[in-house]
Amino acid sequence: MSEQISDRQQLSGGVLERVQAMLPARFRRGAAVVPVVRLAGVIGAVTPLRPGMTLSGVAKMLERAFGTRNAKAVALVINSPGGSPVQSRQIYLRIRQLAAEKKLPVLVFVEDVAASGGYMIACAGDEIYCDPSSILGSIGVVGGSFGFQEAIKKIGIERRLYTAGIHKATLDPFLPENPDDVARLKAIQREIHAIFIALVKQSRGGRLKGAEDELFTGEYWAGETAVGLGLADGIGDLRSTLRARYGDKVLTPVIAPASGMLSGLLGRRAPGAGSLSALDGIAALPDDLISALETRAIWAKFGF
């Protein structure tokens, strides 16, 4: 019974906080407002049944946060091991664009991990705070595949592939690995890595304290070390940091993803996509299983 009362109190408190944040300043008794957006999960569209974090999926939340009346800043809570470099950079750019338009500082709070693309998004913050046990960094690019050519031979399957364009079958997992294909892939990775490095340098500037051959190797660090290297600005949690800066009465309304009764009844939806039929869901199950394993592997890399 006491747990139910506590849950109700938390719910009513959250609703009250959101209502207070919308009131004119004269009715809020001087309380500062800092809307909070949570950005969590693997970045990029994984499968229809397991959508990852994409710009289309978070854009409305970001716009609502930066459009909050009387906001003093916007707080981002990040918990992501990375993913698509394109989606990571697009989310980063949208945050910086909105911050410039609304002239609001962005404070980032890292939970378990902000690595690879997750750290790229964290760089959208004017300041980055983390827990001593948070994982930050992994400023690099990775890609991989499997080779099945020997496996299909053993079960009597012959690969038949027809292409127009000599590189159309690059890195086909059912063909022997071609050194030229690998060289082309590595060249693309180096190009993307250079973009990532430039973004981190632009964001962190003179705060970076580590050498480039240490910071940009794809290595990652726990919170205290990350702060020492200049990848973060300090150790701190959202509540304590915002209270210290804006006072004990600071309002922190959480900007949640838009949801409705119909979307709940129809099931999960991919960002920017229509509802899934039952047959679509069944057909997507193998891909969904593979994506679940891949997602688990990405998190496991950082010990989670």
Choose the weakest-confidence range: 142-146, 193-197, 278-282.
278-282
How many Å apart are CA 187 and CA 180, to the nearest integer? 11
Question: Looking at the domain assignment, is residue 125 inside a domain?
Answer: yes
pLDDT digits (tens, 9 = 90+) for 62-115: 999 999 999 999 999 999 999 999 999 999 999 999 999 999 999 999 999 999
Tell me the residue type at 235.
I
**Upper half-sphere CA count for residue 66 (Cβ side, 13 Å):** 19
Instruction: Indicate which CATH number applies to the domain containing 99.
Output: 3.90.226.10
Per-residue pLDDT at 151: 81
Average pLDDT over residues 249-261: 83
For the chain, the domain total comes to 1
CB atoms closer than 10 angstroms to residue 116:
28
How many Å apart are CA 279 and CA 276, to the nearest integer? 8
Question: Looking at the domain assignment, is residue 166 inside a domain?
Answer: no
pLDDT digits (tens, 9 = 90+) for 105-143: 999 999 999 999 999 999 999 999 999 999 999 999 887
**Upper half-sphere CA count for residue 131 (Cβ side, 13 Å):** 13
Question: Looking at the domain assignment, is residue 176 inside a domain?
Answer: no
**Catalytic residue annotation:** 116, 168
Question: Looking at the domain assignment, is residue 72 inside a domain?
Answer: yes
CB atoms closer than 10 angstroms to residue 19:
11
Choose the weakest-confidence range: 130-144, 178-192, 259-273.
259-273
Question: Looking at the domain assignment, is residue 196 inside a domain?
Answer: no
% residues pLDDT > 90 (the chain): 55
- Is 175:152 a contact under the CB 8 Å cutoff? no
Element (H, E) at 74: strand 74-80
**Upper half-sphere CA count for residue 215 (Cβ side, 13 Å):** 21
105: helix, strand or coil: coil
pLDDT band at 168 (very low <50, low <70, confident <90, very high): confident
Choose the weakest-confidence range: 49-53, 131-135, 198-202.
49-53
Tell me the residue type at 95.
I
Per-residue pLDDT at 1: 52
Q: What range does the domain containing 223 cover?
A: 2-138+219-300
Global model pTM greater than 0.85:
no
Q: In the beta sheet, which residues pair with residue 251?
A: 33
- Is 217:140 a contact under the CB 8 Å cutoff? yes
Average pLDDT over residues 222-243: 97
Provide the token pair at 123: 């760089």
Per-residue pLDDT at 303: 56
Helix axes 179-204, 85-102, angle to 10 degrees: 20
How many Å apart are CA 274 and CA 178, to the nearest integer? 39
Does the structure show a pLDDT above 90 at 222?
Answer: yes
Query: DSSP letters of 200-267?
Result: HHHHHGGG--S-HHHHTSS-EEEHHHHHHTTSSSEE--HHHHHHHHH-TT-B--B-PPP--HHHHHH-
Pairing between strand 220-222 and 135-137?
antiparallel
Question: Looking at the domain assignment, is residue 146 inside a domain?
Answer: no
Question: Looking at the domain assignment, is residue 26 inside a domain?
Answer: yes
Question: Looking at the domain assignment, is residue 187 inside a domain?
Answer: no
Element (H, E) at 13: helix 2-22
Largest CA distance in the chain: 78
In terms of pLDDT, which residue wins out, 97 or 181?
97
Closest CA to 120 of 198, 206, 56: 198
Q: What is the mean pLDDT of the chain?
A: 81
Does the structure show a pLDDT above 50 at 268?
Answer: no
